[in-house]
Chains A and B, each alone.
Chain A
Amino acid sequence: MHRSIITLIALAAFTATGAIAQNLEVIKERKSLLEQMGKSAKEPGKMMKQEIPFDAATVDAALDTIIANASKLPALFPEDSKSGGKTEALPAIWENKDEFTGRYDKLVADAKAAKANLGDEFAFMEAWPKVAGNCGGCHKKYRVEKK
């Protein structure tokens, strides 16, 4: 009797730990992908503000990072990843799942279009805001407000 109870408790503990471990993994991965996208946008941002000269190769690499990461992100918001792991994801994500994941599709599409139109500095200044504008739009609705 006691052994079964202990077994049951041990089993429950292992299952629970297993579930929590899955959550944290997904949260960690998506945070890393998002931060990487943010980092890649730093140099193009400096080009937009004319702090550094325009460099097509850097922008191209940033766009590649965005396309790669944004393609992976829709799958990284399962139902059991709403909390923990210092996630800044707001519940609104799961309330508007389709709208949310649609934003990643748009980001990929915008980034691909920008890649195709990457000519000189003026083309860049037209194209880049269309890509980077997606960042703020999503954050406004779906990320915890940073003070």
Chain B
Amino acid sequence: MATDTQPDSASGRPGAPTVIAWDLPTRLFHWLLVALLVTAWATFEFSETLGDSVLKWHRWTGLLILTILVWRMLWGFFGSSTSRFLNFLPAPATLTRYAGVALVRSEAKFLGHNPLGAVMIFALLGLLFAQACLGLFTVEHNDLTAGPLYRLLSEDARKTATSWHRFLFESVTVWLIALHIAANLAYAFLRNDPLIKAMVTGRKPAGDYADAQHAEIVSRPLLRAGLLLVIAAVVVFGGIWAAGGKFLSMRLW
């Protein structure tokens, strides 16, 4: 399972060998997160049209996002090699050197996250985690509903959490997401580094990568991921309940 070069006819070059880069749980997480983020935005933006003024869909989506983000943090310690934080946390020297070179010419290729990509991933995970946590304390504009922990805060603090929940996404996170997408497109189409495809198929062309020649996939990745997902759900929902949270009307049926 470790040395896993396969001829890849889909890469356009018949017989070109590929190596495993991302495990399945990581890839599922990534695209599920994308879908959930779009859903979270849409269920708020179009709540009137959806007839969901108490934002049930939005609140469920937010809780799911929070759960898979906690899962990702666990996977960052118990997942495959390219998913582990300690494996791609860049030293400042590495970062400046890579950043300086990357913008000028074709720099070293990385199997997992390159140093700049790593910074982006940490930033996105951090911002989205903050976003989801703020939602726990946010009150809906028409005072119809609120996150499960809003009562822990004073009126003023609730207003602050609410406006940050809006502001953080609109003014910061969405721009970082745009940059993230642009960067990945640039790497794929300008630098011939198929990052987006790799996050779908999990494979990259075999080559001389600076970090590793292939990913070390953990044993029984799906089982492991499933167990950690249960733990993540317990942490999120149990944590909210333990903090005295109250889920307001969440029934979707």
A residues in contact (CB < 8 Å) with B: 41-42, 45-46, 48-51, 125, 128-130, 132-133, 135-137, 139, 146-147
Contacts and interface: CB of A to CB of B under 8 A. Distances in A.
B145 A130 contact: no
B248 A50 contact: yes
A147 B163 contact: yes
Given A130-B53, A133-B48, A45 B142 contact: yes
Interface residues of B, number: 17
Given A49-B248, A50-B248, A147-B163, A129 B54 contact: yes
Contacts of B145: 48-49
A133 B150 CA distance: 20
Contact of A49 (B48, B143, B163): B143
B93 interface: no
20 contacts: A41-B143, A46-B143, A48-B54, A48-B143, A48-B144, A48-B145, A48-B248, A49-B145, A49-B150, A50-B246, A50-B248, A51-B151, A125-B249, A129-B53, A130-B53, A132-B142, A132-B143, A135-B141, A136-B142, A147-B167
What are the 3 closest A-B residue pairs judged by CB atoms, nearest first?
A: A45-B143, A133-B53, A129-B53
A132 B146 CA distance: 14
Contacts of A128: 144
A135 B142 CA distance: 6
Nearest to A46: B143
A49 B54 CA distance: 10
Contacts of B246: 50
Contacts of A133: 48, 53, 142, 144
Interface in B41-78: 48, 53-54
B163 A45 contact: no
A137 B48 contact: yes
Contacts of A129: 53-54, 142, 144
Interface in B208-253: 246, 248-249
Contacts of B151: 51
A136 B248 CA distance: 19
Nearest to A133: B53
A109 to B, nearest CB: 16
Contacts of A45: 142-144
Which one of B144, B151, B248 has the greatest number of beta carbons of chain A within 10 Å? B144
Which one of B53, B143, B151, B249 has the greatest number of beta carbons of chain A within 10 Å? B143
A41 B143 CA distance: 8
Which one of A42, A132, A133 has the greatest number of beta carbons of chain B within 10 Å? A133
